[in-house]
Amino acid sequence: MNSNYSILCRTLADNEIDFERHPDVHVVVANLQLIHTRATLVAHAPPNEPFVSIMVTLPVNMPAERRAAVGELLHRLNYDLRIGTFEFSYDDGEVRFHVSVLLPSKNYNLSGKALLHWLAVAMHSLDGFSPTILRVATTNVSPAHAHEQSEAEFREYLHGLDSGSDQPVA
């Protein structure tokens, strides 16, 4: 049995991120104001499982008429990712970024610093690519063209963050 849920709650509180606790299911939920967008964080840290799951969801669903284009863009983005993945519901247009942290055993406890790193990966990945995702969702730009532009835009986004900081923006 691990203490990752408690560590997650303490890490969010220590970083002044307001969140709701759902201890019966080992989940926390937080509404975030990131640099480019608002988002919802859902993190699941079950005590008897060797993983922590972190999902950050855009606050708007993609319009039905642009879902195929958004799906293609997310597929292209996922191809280049090394950590995490964009997930997309064609049914309702929900977009989220998901990171699963696999632990060596169900008794392993992540440090607060490690949890903060994984939270930052998820938050910055969604936030940094959100302008590209929303551009494809709301204009007639092609997913291929948006994808080509996204790498430089994301690099610029990361450059604008504090150097060396794993602090999530909330």
pTM: 0.91
Q: Using one digit for the tens of pLDDT, what is the confidence trace for 154-164?
A: 888 888 886 55
> pLDDT: is 93 or 80 the higher one?
93
What's the CA gap between 4 and 118, in Å, rounded? 13
For domain 4-160, the CATH class is alpha beta
Query: Which percentage of the chain shows pLDDT scores above 90?
Result: 86
Q: Looking at residue 159, what is its pLDDT?
A: 83
pLDDT at 169: 53
